[in-house]
Structure 1
Amino acid sequence: MEIPRMLDGRLKFRHLLLVEALSGQGSVVGAAAALHVTQPVVTRSLQDLERILGVTLYERGPRGIQPTEFGDAFTQYARSALAQMNQASRHLQEIADATRGHVVIGTHLAGSNLLLPRAIAQLKQDRPALRIVVREATPEALLEDLVAGKIDFIIGRLATVPPEGTIQQTLHAETIRVIARSGHPLAARTQIPLDELIAYPWVLPGVETALRTELEEFFHRNDCSLPPNRVETTAFLTIRQLLVETDMVAALPELIGASDPRLTALPISLDLVGARVGITLAAGRRLSPASEAMMQSLVTVADSVHPRQAQSG
C-alpha cells in the first residue's frame, strides 16, 4: 500500500465511519442500520474504499463478514482518528464556553460505590452546567468504548498490566472483604470456617473480571470449590439489594460495606485478594478540559478517603 493513496483526497471521513460500523456490527446489514443507509450503499462504499487502499479489508461469508489482517489494522486507525476528531470537537466547544462541556465516564463495580459519586458531586458544585454521563459495563466492553472514543476514561479496578494502548493512574488500594447484611446469621461471629461460609448462597462477579479470577484462585488455594449456590453479576444495585434482602454474601470492596449501614464485613480474610482502583486512559489522546476537571476531582476525593495513595501506574 502506497502512502499517497491515503492522502490524495479520495479517502473520506465517511470511509472511517463505514469501517468502524462494519467491524463493530460484523455484517453489511448491521452496518447499514447503524449508518442509516441502504445495504447497496454500504457495499459500494466498501468497494470504493478497498480500491483506494488496494487491499481486501473483509472476507465475506454466509454468517457475515470478518476483517482481514488489513481490515483489523485499518479499523484500529479509523477508530483512533474518529476518537481524536470527537475529542477535538468537544475541546473547541469547551474553549468557547468554559463553564459547560461534558465528560463520559465508564465504570465498573470498584469505582462506582463511593469514589465516583463524591467526585461528581464535588465537581458539580463548581461547574453546575457541566454534563456528566456515567456508563456501567464489564471491563472488556468499557475498554472497547475507550479505544473507540465513546468514553473519556474508565474508573474502577485496574488491571495488573495496562491493556495495550492505555495508561493507568492509581487512585487508591482497596481491600476486598466478604460482605453481608448487618443482621446476617454470621455477622455476630468472631470466626467463620470457610466451608461454613461457602454453604451460604454467594454473589460472585462474572467470569470476565479480574476479581473472579482471584476468588477462584483463593478457593483453589484453600482446597475448596466455588460456592455451588451462586448468582453471577457485577451490577452494584442488584448485588446490594440481594445482600440487604437475603442471607447471600459477596466479595466486594471494603468501602461498600463501610458506606452502607445495612451491610457489614464478615470476619474472614481473603488472603491475597485485593485491588488497585484508578483511572484508565487511552494512551496519546488529549483530554478535554471537562475530562481533566473530572479527573482532578477524582484524585482529590481519593486522597481524602485514602491519603497519599494517588499515583501514576
Structure 2
Amino acid sequence: MPDLLGGKLKLRHLVLVTAIADHGSVLRAAEHLRLAQPAATRALRELEDLLGVDLFTRGPRGMRLTVFGEAFLEHARAVLTELRRAGERIVGLADTEVGTVTIGTLLAGSNVLLPRAIASLKRDRPGVTVVVRESTFDTLVPALLAGEVDLIVGRLNPVHTRPELRQVTLYSEPVRLVVRAGHPAVGRPDLTLADLMDYPWILPLTQTALRQELEQVLARHGLELPADRVECTSILTMRALLVETDMIAALPGLVVSTDERLVALPVELESVRRAVGVTLLSERLLTPSAGLMLEHLRGRAEELRGALETVGH
C-alpha cells in the first residue's frame, strides 16, 4: 500500500490531477497552471510511481481517467475543497465582513425566500460574495458532498437513508395550479382537474419529487399525464411560458402570491405540499459566511409564514 503520508505526496500532485481531468491533457493542464509541460509530465510520473498505478490513459481525444484515476480524483477534489474551505473559514474568522457562500437552489425557495435572504445578508455584510447554482436536488447533493456548494435551499427531499445529510425545515408551502391572468380556465364554474387536461402543461422533470406527486394525483383521478406538455424547472422559462401562452403549471404558492400576472386556479392538489428548508452536511461545520446565510434564511422564512397562511386558503 502506498504511503501517502510519508511526505512524498505533494499538494501540487492533487492540483495537477484535477487540472488534467478537467482539461483533458497535460499540455492544457500545464498552461492552466502556468507550468512548463515537462515539469507537469514529471510530476504526474512521480505521482503514478508513488501510487504504483496509471491514473490516465492516453488516446487520440486526450487523456482519460482510469478506474484508479477516478478513485484518486474523488479524494483529491475533496482534499482541495476542504483546504479551500479552511482558508475561507480562517479569513471569515479574521474578518467577518468578507467571505463567499455558495448556495444550491431548487424551484421552491428560489423565487421569494432566497432573494430576500440574500438581500438581507448583503445589507449586513456587503463584502460577502454569494454564488447561486440552480439545479435539481439529485444534482446538487453530489456538489454538496464535494464541497462545491455550502448548502441547498428548496424543497426538502427525503434523506432518511443518507446519514451524511441533515435538514433544517423553514416552512411548509402549498403547491397551486397556476395560469396567466385572463386564461380561458379562469372563472369557469365547477372547474375540475379533468377540465384542465385539454390545455398544455408545464411539468417538473421526471426525477423530481413534485413530478412523482403530480403523477400520483392524476392517477387517483383516473387521468394520464397531459399529452401536450413541456418539462422544465427554470422559473424564468416557466413564467414566460405561462404569461405568453395558455399553459398550466404546478408552482409553489409564493410564486403566484407575488406575481400579479399569474393566477391560482381553484383546483386543489390534495396532499401536494412542500416542506421548504435547507439541506446541509451532518459532519461539516459551516463557514462563517454560510452560517450567516443560514441565519438570514431563518429570519426571512419566519416573515413569510404569515403570507403562506393566506396562500394556503
Q: Secondary structure at the match of 1:17?
A: helix
Match of 1:151 in 2: 149
Specify the alignment match of 2:311 in structure 1: none
Match of 2:207 in 1: 208
Contact 1:18 1:31 in 2 (8 A): no
3-state secondary structure, aligned to 2:4: helix
Gaps of 5+ in 2: 309-313
Task: Determine the C-alpha separation between the residues in 1 that align with 2:75 and 2:26.
Answer: 23
1:192-203 map, 5 Å: 192-203=191-202
Instruction: Give the RMSD, CA atoms, in angstroms.
Output: 2.9
Deviation at 1:20, TM superposition (A): 3.8
Where does 1:73-152 land on structure 2 (aligned, <5 Å)?
73-152=71-150
TM-score, normalising length: structure 2: 0.84
- Report SS of the residue matched to 1:102: strand
- Provide the rounded CA distance (Å) in 1 between the counterparts of 2:221 and 2:269: 10
Q: Which whole-Å CA distance do the structure 2 matches of 1:47 and 1:278 have between them?
A: 46
Report the alpha carbon displacement of residue 56 of structure 1 after superposing the two structures with TM.
5.0
Which residue is 1:49 aligned to? 47
Letter in 1 for 2:217: F
Is contact 2:30–2:40 with CA below 8 Å preserved after alignment?
A: no
Q: CA deviation at 1:160?
A: 1.1
The code of the aligned residue for 2:137 comes to P
Change over 3 Å in CA distance of 1:157–1:21 after alignment to 2: farther
Change (3 A) 1:50 1:218: farther
SS of residue in 2 equivalent to 1:7: coil
Contact in 2 for aligned 1:145/1:151 (Cα 8 Å): yes
Q: Counterparts of 1:13-28 in structure 2 under 5 Å?
A: 13-21=11-19, 27-28=24-25
Q: Give the Å deviation of 1:185.
A: 1.6
Moved more, 15-24 or 276-285: 15-24
User: Contact 2:204–2:233 (CA<8 Å) still a contact in 1?
Assistant: yes
User: Once the two structures are superposed, what CA deviation does each residue of 1:107-136 show, in whole Å capped at 9, x if it has no partner?
Assistant: 121111110111112222222232222222
Q: 1:194 to 1:62 in 2, by over 3 A?
A: farther
C-alpha spacing 1:221/1:79, structure 2 compared with 1 (3 Å): farther
How far 1:6 sits from its partner (Å)? 0.6
- Supply the distance in 1 between the matched residues of 2:193 and 2:172 (Cα, whole angstroms): 25
**CA 264–34 in structure 1, closer or farther in 2 if over 3 Å, else same:** farther
Q: Which amino acid aligns with 1:135?
A: R
TM-score, length-scaled by structure 1: 0.84
1:32 to 13, 29, 33: 29
Summarize the Cα distance change of 1:191–1:15 in structure 2 as closer, same or farther, 3 Å threshold: farther
Identity, in percent, stands at 46
**3-state DSSP of counterpart to 1:6:** coil
Letter in 2 for 1:6: L
Alpha-carbon distance change, 221 to 62 in structure 1, aligned in 2, over 3 angstroms:
farther
- Asked whether the equivalents of residues 159 and 165 of structure 2 are also in contact (C-alpha less than 8 Å), the reply is no
Unaligned stretches of 5+ residues in structure 1: none
The offset of 1:45, in angstroms, is 4.4
Indicate if the aligned counterparts of 1:79 and 1:147 stay in contact, CA closer than 8 A. no
Q: Which residue of 2 aligns with 1:304?
A: 303
Is residue 2:269 matched to residue 1:270? yes
Distance change in 2, residues 1:174/1:39 (3 Å): farther
Q: Determine if contact 1:107/1:137 at 8 Å carries over to the other structure.
A: yes
Residues 178 and 42 (structure 1), Cα distance of their counterparts in 2 relative to 1, 3 Å cut: farther
Aligned to 2:221: 222
